[in-house]
Amino acid sequence: MKKKILFIGPIGDFGGRELETGFMAKSLSKDFDVEILSTGNLTLISQIFDFVPTEIVQTLNECIYKNSFRFRILSYLSRIKSNQKKDKYSFVSNTLAKRLGYRDFALNQLRIKINNFDIIILCMQLTSNYLKEIVEYSHGLQKPTVLRTSTTIKESDITEKDWLKEITLFIHHSESNAKKLEFIENYNYTLIDQCTFKEEEMLQIKSVETFKNLLYVGRISEEKGIVDFVELFNKLETDLTLKIVGDGEQMKELRVKSESNKNIELLGFLNQDEIVKQFQDTHAIIIPSYEESGPFVGLEAMASARLIISTKVGAMPERLKGLKNQFWFNVSDSNSLIKVLGDIKKLSNQQIKNIAEENRLRYLDNYQMDKIESQYKNAIFKL
């Protein structure tokens, strides 16, 4: 009989966490019975369904809606009052519900779920809601818990968190993130990075040989730094063009800052097939993030043999260590960006091609999909 794995995390519709959780679940579903419980809200367009069927995915609010008449009524009333076209489960965690014990009931639903599984895999940040309670409850039942950390671990994230020692295994993208938790007693971790999920298509893209445009792919939010980058880009005297793929809470602000620059094009959200087409037409990927664990787009750039211009964030310094692609900049320092762009402009076509192909070779050596899948399987089997 197969062991049962429950994935828990704030899974939504779009983003690296959705893609990675889906890939992990798909990789392990061949050897385990897998289910996914999202502590956030998602819809049928979520990218997680690129990997797994809808029947193994459920949201915490859906559980609460189905198992509590009181919260079901409150959800119904909240939906009428808001007059918004969202699914009925999105209204379960309304203001009145939170006053009337929503969190306690939610924790009880989590415990009921956990009781039915052998291994709990948490795709979360250290500050994610319910993480502490899930870890402590699972530990009390002697169920192995695995935390796949996401985003940059900050000093403020690890204060007063003695319960972290109850996590069986940490999975990190980078050694730099892993080292921040070395204070944990009996600290057990492994490093597993990401891969591109359009690997075959990315690897078939002809390597770049020139430098005339930039592409950003990611969430339009504060930690991604894209709004601040556009401010820098607006100040440059350059013929470079910039395409921006993504959506998020800072989209309105981004439109305002971009509208006067004819060299910037906002493309909004694109699916994975459409993103591959954008990679075919671009020369360099820009990563202006302040906080990341990956980022995912960095490996897409490597697989597609593109130049990478990045802040020293997440796993990027480790991914590019020893390569000629050392185009680092600081979002708050325009001179650092000017220098990097100037350095690339001085390169010959052959030099650009060599750097791009070296990036692809690093991807092939370390990050191919079957290698990452095997690493996940090995880590879980060892539990």
What is the pLDDT, as a whole number, of residue 16? Answer: 85
- On average, the pLDDT of the chain sits at 95
Q: What is the pLDDT of residues 246-293, one digit of tens each?
A: 999 999 999 999 999 999 999 999 988 999 999 999 999 999 999 998
What is the pLDDT at residue 159? 82
Query: What's the confidence (pLDDT) of residue 84?
Result: 78
* pLDDT over 80 at 83, yes or no: no
168-191 mean pLDDT: 94
Task: Report the Cα–Cα distance between both ends of the chain, in Å, rounded.
Answer: 17
Cα separation, 348 vs 288, in Å, equals: 25
Angle of helix 16-28 relative to helix 296-303, nearest 10 degrees, comes to 80
**Which residue type is seen at 123?**
C
| Residue 190 in tokens | 């492994």
Cα-flanking dihedrals φ and ψ of residue 119, to 5°? Answer: -135, 140
What is the structure's pLDDT at 346?
97
The tokens describing 155, both together, are 């000093």
Produce one character per residue of 8-21: b if its CB has 16 or more CB atoms within 10 Å, e if not: bbbbbbbbbbbbbb
Task: Delimit the domains of the chain by residue range.
Answer: 4-195+369-381, 199-366
Q: Could you give the percent of the chain with pLDDT greater than 90?
A: 91
pLDDT at residue 87 in the model: 85
- Asked if domains 4-195+369-381 and 199-366 share a fold, the reply is yes
- The pTM (predicted TM-score) of the whole model is 0.91
What is the distance of C-alpha 65 from the center of its chain? 28
CATH code for the structural domain at 4-195+369-381:
3.40.50.2000
What average pLDDT does this structure show over 45-51? 94
**Fold topology of 199-366:** Rossmann fold (3.40.50)
* Higher pLDDT among residues 15 and 203, named by residue: 203
